[in-house]
Structure 1
Amino acid sequence: MISNNRLTELEYQANFADIHPPFETRDAAAVEANRCLFCYDAPCIKSCPTSINIPKFIKQITTDNIKGSAHTIFVSNIMGAGCSKVCPVEKLCEGSCVYNLMHEEPINIAKLQRYSTEAAMANNWQLFSRKESNGKKVAIIGAGPAGLSCAHVLSREGTDVTIYEKEALGGGLMTYGIAAYKVTPEFCKAEVDYITSIGGIDIKYNQALGKDVSLKQLTEQYDAVYIAIGVGEARQLDIPGEDLAGVEDAISYIYHLRTSDYKEMPVGDRVAVIGLGMTAIDAATQAKRLGAKDVTIVYRRTYDEKPCTDVELDIAKLDGCQVEWLAAPKEIIGENGKVKQLVCSRMKLGEPDASGRKSPVDTGETFTLDVDMVIKAAGQMPFSELVNTEGLKNNYGKISVENKTVTNINKVFAGGDCVNGGKEVVDAVQAGKDGAAEILKFLGV
């Protein structure tokens, strides 16, 4: 039965509290920072898409130079505070820490990064000064990580930036697409405010490309345009019963969870989640934390091919979510227009596909799950129709670029998920930096 307001206010608060609590004292941060070996040619720097000088910022914490530490982080990644909460550090910086080779716990880089960056935000330290205006104007479409990162670099160089954002708040995926126990809406707003506090960045909300503004208009009004619209269309399952009441796509479900009161969010008793990426994990764990009795994740490959990290999967398992491996949705059966059962095909692994992972092959066997809610998290697709309408050269909706960011339209640049098809927040931040560098070169700044 899909209902809401299943838990008490205290239970909701506990279930959606910060999953990675920060260091509570300066001494605790200093003790962890002093474990760092400050490697020469540090592997952690190489594995960070934004190339944060990690040993340097940690060394600055050991000398109690927290302001300097925050500057070291922000100069490479202006969303360093948010990334410290959502980055899959186990496969990036912390995963490459030399302590792993010694079978010891890696340096808690994310927690140390959070310590410095949150201090900067809490004290509103202005660590960058904006150069005098150079008279150039740039429009950015999308106030997500790529757009904000690009805007900050441009503004530092004295370029005036106007961001057109389709939602009512900035932050993009951080604000609308990530589990609430990782980042709160309040934190996301504070991060956007902190980034724009440098000045020279004006965000116009509720302005969508293709609806409220067009590329043609913007290229006429501005010296350059940067597109950072992300991805957002949920991939369909293309199976019978997909239109029944109780079938949700994970993107919309998490969006509503981020914009509604927890007690207003409907959730089933028995929920099936299709897919095993980060979004699937977020949907599954949040359904459980909203009061679902049983949550089953259905994944068509095995543990070895899973797209999520071990850490993410462990969160779901600790919350009591089950995983059906080698299973693919075949049909959703309903009663009176509502979901009642999910029929799945048993799969086996065949030859590797284009992604390098072994392809799932239908064995002909099926099994049935009794469910009253199905959440689809089988991936996201680019905004194909939109980019085609605006005349952008693309590959199945992914905007085609040269030099990492130059599109086929004069004065128009692009980056982030709308180009790469969907990666991590930290990759989008780097894409924004690359875009800004190319735009400044183009403007002759």
Structure 2
Amino acid sequence: MKAFADISGGRLTAAEYDKNFADIKPPLTTLQAQVESARCLFCYDAPCITACPTSIDIPGFIRGINTGNIDGAANTILASNILGASCARICPVEILCEQACVRNQEQECRPVLIGQLQRYALDHRRDKSAQPVSRAPSTGKQIAIIGSGPAGLSAAWHLASKGHDTIIFEAADKPGGLNAYGIARYKLSQDTVDEEIRYLMGIGGIELRCGTAIGRDIPLSELRREYDAVFIAAGLQAVNHLKIDGEDREAVRSAVDYIAELRQCDDLAKLPVGRRVVVIGAGNTAVDIATQSRQLGAEEVTMVYRRGPEHMSATDHEQHVAKDHGVTLRHHARPTRVLHTNDAVTGVEFERTYTDEQGNLSGTGEYFTLPADMVFKATGQAFIPEPFDDDETLQLSNGRIHVDDQFRTSLKNVYAGGDCADRDDDLAVVAVQHGKLAALAIDEDLKAQEGQ
């Protein structure tokens, strides 16, 4: 008999699934938005603006809410961040704008709820098709964009606003990238993602070609020949391997792949989930898969990280979310092998670790085992350069595409941004800013080339 082999799912009622995957941050009511907006001091030279990767005029849009000018507030947001609706839900505001808020002091108890006010403004604008700017006259230029995640969508919109035609090539069956496939379902609904993309494309001049992979269906060299510029926003396509015995078992899954499957699943009861789940990793993706495993009916979920809690990349807020959902966090342990009987996973063996004064990680030689029937790998992602092999070499840095301050790559008229580029943090809001800045650089370079 296989130990811990029941990973068939379907342990909860439909009502329990609905409750578990409901919006983790319920939207503000009109009264709550009024009260919260009144807490803003409308600072001159506001630190929250500096802390926002897309430089939204935060006091400006909050003043709009406070004075009843919701459409004006929404336009202020969208002019800086065209993906403001999704970012309002998924941004780690606790380490960005809200951390910088002058109300974020002990005597004030908490910062202004900037993220929730941003969501309120965008959810309550009267004309949800109105664009913050009008599209400029057509330039006759065509730009190819590889990837329809936050960076690609942002670049497409900003290029379209300048009058350029943009064609987005997306390998997946539907657009959205990280937002559609990589975010916990309780943070961002698919309806919000779809509505935001429809709105963004409403500016005109944007064509979307899904199911088209660069390298498989069309080479980069062909895009370079046919288009005036190319923007690579391919994200990170691979998951780092554990490189341990038993990793190839069916019940050892990539957290990224499972979250993508979960987001596109119409019947959560059909998703397989273990009763005892071990998650290896300590980032936000690890928190997402650990929390959602509990929401799917797992009885025990443990996140294990090789270093101490101070090194975890998951924010304090995310860690509290995991703990609030009954997830156990364990530190200073690294996996050495996945235990299994025939095809059934039975547990994971770990070696206890320690970090010396120089920050080097070492094993102690002491081992322990956690029982498990399902294991998720959430140990980071990597960029795969092979699909972008061209007549010329695309220069990489630290395993990602090297770009300059204008997001130019080593190839002429080829730009890159988002997670696949060797800049900044891997955050959706940062990717949105990359797309915006790259679009402005492409526009300026095209104008300069015409003037030659």
User: What TM-score, normalized by structure 2, do the two folds share?
Assistant: 0.94
Question: Match of 1:271?
Answer: 277
The whole-number CA distance in structure 1 between the counterparts of 2:77 and 2:332 is: 41
TM-fit CA distance, 1:168? 1.5
Question: Match of 1:187?
Answer: 192
Question: Match of 1:45?
Answer: 49
Question: Match of 2:3?
Answer: none
Match for 1:7 among 12, 15, 19? 12
Identity, % of aligned positions: 46
The whole-number CA distance in structure 1 between the counterparts of 2:306 and 2:157 is: 41
Aligned partners of 2:71 and 2:126 also within 8 Å? no
Match for 2:326 among 315, 320, 330? 320
Runs of 4+ in 1 over 3 A off after TM superposition: 120-123, 387-391
The whole-number CA distance in structure 2 between the counterparts of 1:397 and 1:72 is: 36
Listed as ranges, the matches of 1:13-412 within 5 Å are: 13-25=18-30, 27-104=31-108, 105-120=110-125, 123-260=128-265, 261-352=267-358, 358-388=359-389, 391-412=393-414
TM-fit CA distance, 1:300? 1.1
**Closer, same or farther in 2 for the Cα pair 1:395/1:388, shift >3 Å?**
farther
The whole-number CA distance in structure 2 between the counterparts of 1:103 and 1:83 is: 29
> Partner of 1:225: helix, strand, or coil?
strand
The superposition leaves residues 365-390 of structure 1 with CA deviations (integer Å, 9 ceiling, x where unpaired) of 11001110110001111113334467
TM-fit CA distance, 1:361? 1.7
Structure 2, unaligned runs of 5 or more = 1-5
Aligned partners of 1:387 and 1:399 also within 8 Å? no
**Closer, same or farther in 2 for the Cα pair 1:121/1:92, shift >3 Å?**
farther
The superposition leaves residues 89-126 of structure 1 with CA deviations (integer Å, 9 ceiling, x where unpaired) of 00000011111235321000000000111224873333
> Does residue 441 of the first structure (1) align with residue 448 of the second (2)?
no
The superposition leaves residues 158-178 of structure 1 with CA deviations (integer Å, 9 ceiling, x where unpaired) of 111111111121111011001
Structure 1, unaligned runs of 5 or more = 353-357
Amino acid at match of 2:286: A
> Partner of 2:433: helix, strand, or coil?
helix
Aligned partners of 2:128 and 2:199 also within 8 Å? no
Amino acid at match of 2:386: E
User: What TM-score, normalized by structure 1, do the two folds share?
Assistant: 0.96
- Provide the aligned C-alpha RMSD in A: 1.5
TM-fit CA distance, 1:396? 4.5
TM-fit CA distance, 1:323? 0.9
The whole-number CA distance in structure 2 between the counterparts of 1:404 and 1:123 is: 32
Moved more, 318-327 or 96-105: 96-105
Question: Match of 1:430?
Answer: 433
Amino acid at match of 1:319: H
> Partner of 1:378: helix, strand, or coil?
coil
Amino acid at match of 1:377: A
The superposition leaves residues 255-278 of structure 1 with CA deviations (integer Å, 9 ceiling, x where unpaired) of 111122311110001000001100
> Partner of 2:105: helix, strand, or coil?
helix
The whole-number CA distance in structure 2 between the counterparts of 1:245 and 1:170 is: 28
TM-fit CA distance, 1:294? 0.2
The whole-number CA distance in structure 1 between the counterparts of 2:290 and 2:178 is: 18
> Partner of 1:98: helix, strand, or coil?
coil
**Closer, same or farther in 2 for the Cα pair 1:338/1:122, shift >3 Å?**
farther
